[in-house]
Chains A and B, each alone.
Chain A
Amino acid sequence: MTIKHCDYSQHYRPRMAFTKKIEALVLEMQDPDTGIKTQTQRLVITTIPHAMTGHDILEWIINRLQILDEEAQNIGNLVVQYGYIYPLQEPKNLILRPDGSLYRFQTPYFWPTQQWPAEETDYAIYLAKKNIRKKGVLEDYEKENYNILNIRLNHKWDFVIMQAKEQYRAGKERKKADRVVFEFQERAYWLVHRPPPGAPNVIDYGLDRFSDPNENQVTQKKTFDVYRREIIFNQHSLMKSRVKSSVSLGGIVKYCEQYFNHDPIMTGCLPSNPWLTDDTQFWDLNAPLSEVPTKLRVERWTFSFRELLSDPRGRQDFQLFLRKEFSGENLAFWEACEDLKYGDQSKVKEKAEEVYKTFLAPGARRWINIDGKTMDITVKGLKHPHRYVLDAAQSHIYMLMKKDSYGRYMKSPIFKETLNKAILPEPTKISESKFPFNKRHRRSSPSPVILRQLEQEARAKAAATGPVDITQLCKFTSPIPHLTVYTGFCEPTSPTGTALCDFPPPSPGLMTLPNSTACPSPICVAIESTPASERKFEPSSISTQFLTIAESTEMSVSSDSSTAVVEETKQPSHKSRVALSFSRFLKRGCSNSPIFATLSPKCPAVNSGRVQPMNGEPQHQPQHHHHHHHHHQGQQKTKKTNNFFQIKVDIPSECRIYPIDSEDEEEEDCPNSVKNNTVKEVICPWETITEDGKAG
């Protein structure tokens, strides 16, 4: 009795296509007319018919299948390896010799089949028989197997011995020649199915399969469910996108051509292949976040946006660029989405909430610019967050970055500088003479645990330094001569308009987008840049800028500006230091700052009639924002009035960007500051609805 089925219901041997094919071939070989010529093997005591020479077998295969010598040799080897033909003179050497060595066909009883494997019990009986026949004839590996089986099959060992004896006796009833043949056959069979150590096991197929390959699926009972699944399957197949093979092959060729020089195996790598020269410089230079990337690496960034994003160093560079353009939130959002998709799924809910609060909520700190429909879908999906809930928004942002920022990045001075600084390593000199003495002192690379800790520390430190405010930022950038379109947008939070405007932004650099959804945002002053609008904000010359703005603006808010400023100054006491810095900033002399009209709580009075949709500047707006603006405008009317403030100035395509956006340090700090000052918190819409009243 054997215990069967102690597995994960994987009982079925897989399809073995070779059995049918070789069997057909072997059966053809039997034909007395067209088959292989047989000879007689002469042994000492008897002659046994039906032996063939290897040469004859090969010839026959070549003629029958019309193939070349090499291939015929290969097929012949396969036939012998699988045990359909066995060699008579060198039984352990399972190849087809193209000379006069003799072979014979194996009896069909011993052919490999898919239905049943060579059983352990049979093997035990065989070994026992061999042992009985003559003690000590078992080879070493056979002895080992014998002992193992003795232990494993101990409960039926008596049966095994009995059966071995009986089989031996039964075998003796036969003619001598037949007995010899039988022994040959049996030995050949077990050489194939229990190969000696060192010989390859051709029968090995890995694990058993879960479903029976012989089961005829056509006879499956056609239930409603089966049909339903079939319909869905067919519908999906119809929806599959298809590409012409010429197109896809052309793509492959182009890819190969493009990446040929970058492949270290096809073209060598500089400085040198570490495996060959023992010089690990190649890995050091190409570390994920190396200070100075190599030229090849930077060149790869120009291939496609995906390449840029997938390289951490490239992403870093791109991030820097985006910060200057005030579109850093896009990349940050994209990274947050990636984290959600591939990160720890136990924290999905928290991550999704975090993402919503930071990026998607109306008036969020780093609000991203996606169209209303996508926003709707995303927000709805966030009620039941899962891995792919942000997929739509992520692809939107990805395409945005790709079509817009990427192009500008390629032309930007940041990229040019990186490109100039990129190094072309020199090939290492191999001095073979001193090789044993040149052994480099190896250090193991830092453990990933430590790396992760360092990362977290760096992040925490960056957070601890606090939000970068405008005054501080002044130190970092040089004056920007031009100020491009600046759109500010302030949400009056209270109908009365006198309440504290949740005016102080978590960071002075942030500004909400006017052309996006008009978020009833408590954070009304958020300088947020979109790819569509380039904004430069130069603190030191901001006064002048604002003056120029004031001059050039079409807004007639000057009347309010003074009041606004006055009110501004009143407010700092209640605000965080962010606001303080802002007020300092104001005191610098931005007296005439129509901008701050937007920041003032008096905005509603000012702007009800002054709404200037961004759409008025078509050349600055991508088309797709158009309808969303209207859509959201309508939405918000009931709740709040929106301010759209647009100042149009010259937009040079290149300008030094003022890095206001400092993502990391804000993340930890902002919530606090926001919460201190905001009357209304950013609440995820699925949580509670009561906070609406808090607004204003």
Chain B
Amino acid sequence: MFSDVARSLACLTQCRVALETRQILSAEGPACLSRVPEPCSRAVGMLSIWRRSVSEVQALQAAVSVCKKAQASLVRVTACFQQLVLSVGGSSDCSRLREELEETRLRAHQISTGLCSRLTALLTGGRLFGEEQQEVERLWVLFLSGLELLQLELRKAFHLQAVFPLASPRDSRALVNTGASGRSAEVAAQAASVQTPWGEAEEKGEGAPPNLLGHIALLDSMVQEMVQKVNVPIWTVAASEEGDGEMELELEGATSEEMLTTDVEQKRGCFRGWLLCLMP
């Protein structure tokens, strides 16, 4: 018996090597197994699950990490989009801003659709277990929240662009003097710099990207579909990070807060402390 197991193990290692070179795919797997002598087959059967998870784990892990990255980029793009929408209707509004909005939106669209299909595939594939399942579910919930936020931002953008059209010069007089005058190019650039982890090649086959209104509706339907396909109760997901949201304190960030709180104290003339903090 033990010798049988040892022999089966030896066979298995051979098979594993073969599998790892990715030359033997599912079609060959059983064939490989079939070459295992009879007494080994039982042992092979026992170890089959183990064998499978060992090789597939890496694939799955890769997929999961891809999704994580995609989620992070989606969050970033949404944040950039929000910064841009903030300026709509304000004194820094211009047609360039609108263009940047469009570009960022399309970017978000790319990422979201890609991530959607990947996550759906992962969760409906039925090959996840235990921790990974939890991880992917967590990502799922976060993705849905992200989509929700994105949709809200899109709606606001649509509404604001309708209220403040830039068609005629008269409209630009109506722009609200908010005090903001800067260009938003940097923000847009950051959004554009966000990489989709799966590269650019995929989007070609997706069809025409939607316009703003259509995008909003598309998000709705996307969420609907997703919820129907995958059943993940959202309360099963717990926060993995600390409530305090620890993050490296960047000294520069402190200035704006101080500026806000010390506005009233301008007259007091405590300049020196500020100047120190202002070092970029």
Chain A interfacial positions (CB closer than 8 Å to B): 1-3, 26-27, 30-32, 38, 41, 43-45, 48-51, 88-90, 104-109, 113, 115-116, 119, 121-122, 128, 130-135, 137, 146-147, 150, 154-159, 161-175, 177-185, 187
Contacts and interface: CB of A to CB of B under 8 A. Distances in A.
B85 A109 contact: yes
B206 interface: no
Contacts of A3: 234
A89 B82 contact: no
A183 B255 CA distance: 11
Interface stretch (B33-41, B48-56, B196-204, B236-244): B236-244
Which 7 residue pairs of A and B lie closest in terms of their CB atoms, listed nearest first? A108-B89, A157-B239, A166-B79, A50-B177, A175-B182, A173-B186, A1-B144
Contact of A45 (B160, B183, B257, B278): B278
Given A163-B78, A181-B178, A132 B245 contact: yes
Contacts of B72: 162
Given A163-B78, A166-B79, A167-B83, A107 B178 contact: yes
B260 interface: yes
Contacts of B138: 158
22 contacts: A3-B234, A30-B173, A51-B179, A104-B177, A107-B89, A108-B176, A116-B155, A121-B149, A133-B254, A133-B257, A137-B261, A154-B237, A155-B236, A157-B243, A159-B75, A167-B79, A167-B82, A169-B76, A174-B83, A174-B182, A175-B183, A183-B257
Given A121-B149, A166-B79, A181-B179, A134 B249 contact: yes
Interface of B: 71-72, 75-76, 78-80, 82-83, 85-92, 138, 141-142, 144-146, 148-149, 152, 155-156, 159-160, 163-164, 173-184, 186-187, 189-191, 234-241, 243-245, 247, 249, 252-257, 259-261, 263-264, 266, 271, 274, 278
The listed residue with most B CB atoms (<10 A of its CB), out of A26, A116, A165, A174, is A174
Given A104-B178, A107-B176, A132-B247, 15 more contacts: A44-B259, A49-B91, A49-B177, A105-B179, A108-B90, A108-B163, A109-B86, A146-B243, A154-B237, A157-B241, A162-B75, A162-B142, A164-B245, A179-B256, A182-B83
Contacts of A45: 255, 259, 274, 278
The listed residue with most A CB atoms (<10 A of its CB), out of B86, B88, B164, B238, is B86
A389 B141 CA distance: 59
Nearest to B248: A132
Nearest to B271: A44
Nearest to A35: B177
B263 A88 contact: yes
Nearest to B260: A183
Nearest to A41: B179
A121 B190 contact: no
A161 B245 contact: yes
Contact of A109 (B89, B260, B263): B89
A164 B146 CA distance: 12
A108 B160 contact: yes
Contact of B234 (A1, A119, A131): A1
A3 B264 CA distance: 42
A1 B245 contact: no
The listed residue with most A CB atoms (<10 A of its CB), out of B180, B259, B261, is B180
A287 to B, nearest CB: 58
Contact of B181 (A166, A168, A178): A178
Given A30-B173, A163-B149, A182 B86 contact: yes
Nearest to B156: A109
B245 A163 contact: no
